[in-house]
Amino acid sequence: MFRNTTHSGKGNARPSLARKAQRRLSEYMWNILLVLAGGAVGSLARYGLAALTRQIWPVAEWPVGTFIANVTGGVAMGVLMGLLLGPLKGVVDTERLRLLLGVGLLGGYTTFSSFSLETVFMLERRHYLMAMAYAVTSVVLAVGGVALGLWLVRRVVPA
């Protein structure tokens, strides 16, 4: 369908349109696979954390597993971004690592949608103070976790 053509006079082969499209598709598919693989691992880790916290606190009103996932995921995201934007920049393929670990793994591990649903359930049960405390502390600690992770990497790992 597409022919590979050469640049006349120079002898340098120019990639055909089909080859360029194939390369872009291949890169796109690799990106999808990285997000998929990371998401699978992150989701399994989240599931394991939820199962563990239910065994430790079987009747907890506070969604401990979701809370822990969001806070630790925030710290992990801060560490990851600190490394990718700092000492790893230019050393490794930071975009692929961001897709695998940031978008995939931590995207599957952290649970904003679960957090939102659990907050609404607390409100429906008229646990207003608990819902407010849960929402505020989750957001503050998750954002604080990202800041802490970035700070740790910037202080500990040489640029």
pLDDT tens sequence across 75-94: 999 999 999 999 999 999 99
Distance CA 33, CA 62 (A): 35
Distance CA 156, CA 1 (A): 55
- What are the C-alpha distances in Å from 34 to residues 28, 30, 40, 95, 96? 10, 6, 10, 11, 7
Reported pTM: 0.75
Percent of the chain with pLDDT over 70: 91
Contacts of 114 (CB under 8 A, 6+ apart): 63, 66
Contacts of 121 (CB under 8 A, 6+ apart): none
Contacts of 43 (CB under 8 A, 6+ apart): 108, 109
